[in-house]
Amino acid sequence: MANNDTRHKILKAASNIVQQDGILDLTLEAAAEQAGVSKGGLLYHFPSKDALIEGMVQHLFENYAVNIKKEADQDPVQKGRWTRAFIKETYQQSTPDKNMDAGLMAAAAINPDLLKPVQDAYEEWQQNIEQDGFDPINATVLRLAVDGLWFSEIFGLAPLEKSQRKLVLERLIQLTKEE
């Protein structure tokens, strides 16, 4: 098995533990066992629990960041493109695959310093959204609304039915084109 495959298996196993058993049950031993690797094999990739959680956050957040930039770059309408990209990608993240949520929750609970790259990216996105060609307050309200959708999905706080979620997405996108 290639190193990248092993690394990915370990990250997926760690996310599954957080999702199914809770953050407190995430140990190096449990992640190794669930991934089907020796503890030494896990330690080769992640020498500590913090390194494992940092890997979870980094692995899953990199795709999120790349997808937002790609979506914004491909949007032919300049006005509101960063806001739309953020809304669309965050909407995608709030679907039933909770891998990113698991990494962020683990980092917040175990070592909040591991969230620094996420916090830095959000600051950059907020600046892009505020300079997106329409009212910066309206753009920020839209960002916070889609973050709220994600939050409600993470914690099961009256999550929306699939059809209603889709209508909310469409309305948020529509609001980036008005003024």
**Tens-digit pLDDT profile for residues 20-42:** 888 889 999 999 999 999 999 99
Query: Which CATH number is 37's domain given?
Result: 1.10.10.60
9/32 same-domain check: yes
> What 8-state DSSP symbol labels residue 115?
G
Check residue 156 and give its pLDDT. Answer: 83
Is the pLDDT assigned to residue 95 strictly greater than 90? no
38/11 same-domain check: yes
Q: Are residues 93 and 100 in contact, defined by beta-carbon separation less than 8 angstroms? A: yes
121/95 same-domain check: yes
The pLDDT tens digits for 37-84 are 999 999 999 999 999 999 988 887 888 889 999 999 999 999 999 999
**Residue 152 CA to chain centroid, in angstroms?**
14
11: domain range? 1-47
Alpha-carbon dihedral of residues 87, 88, 90, 96, nearest 10 degrees? 140
Residues 6+ apart with CB under 8 A from 168: 149, 160
62/135 same-domain check: yes
Sign of CA dihedral 17, 22, 23, 27: negative
Is the pLDDT assigned to residue 96 strictly greater than 60? no
User: How many Cβ atoms from other residues are within 10 Å of residue 113's Cβ?
Assistant: 10
Tell me the two tokens of residue 4: 């990248």
Check residue 39 and give its pLDDT. Answer: 93
Average pLDDT across the chain, whole number = 89
Interatomic CA distance for residues 69 and 83, integer angstroms: 11
Check residue 38 and give its pLDDT. Answer: 94
pLDDT band (50, 70, 90) for residue 97: low
2, amino acid identity: A
Interatomic CA distance for residues 98 and 101, integer angstroms: 5
38/60 same-domain check: no
Phi/psi region, residue 80 (left: phi>0; alpha: psi -120 to 50; beta: rest), is left
Is the pLDDT assigned to residue 164 strictly greater than 80? yes
Interatomic CA distance for residues 153 and 150, integer angstroms: 5
58/135 same-domain check: yes
Check residue 179 and give its pLDDT. Answer: 64
Question: What is the number of structural domains in the chain?
Answer: 2
- Residue of 32, 61, 60, 26 lying closest to 44 (CA atoms): 32
114/31 same-domain check: no
43/54 same-domain check: no
Interatomic CA distance for residues 53 and 103, integer angstroms: 6
Check residue 94 and give its pLDDT. Answer: 65
- Residue of 37, 174, 153 lying closest to 104 (CA atoms): 153
170/148 same-domain check: yes
122/154 same-domain check: yes
68/27 same-domain check: no
pLDDT band (50, 70, 90) for residue 155: confident
22/66 same-domain check: no
Residues 6+ apart with CB under 8 A from 41: 6, 32
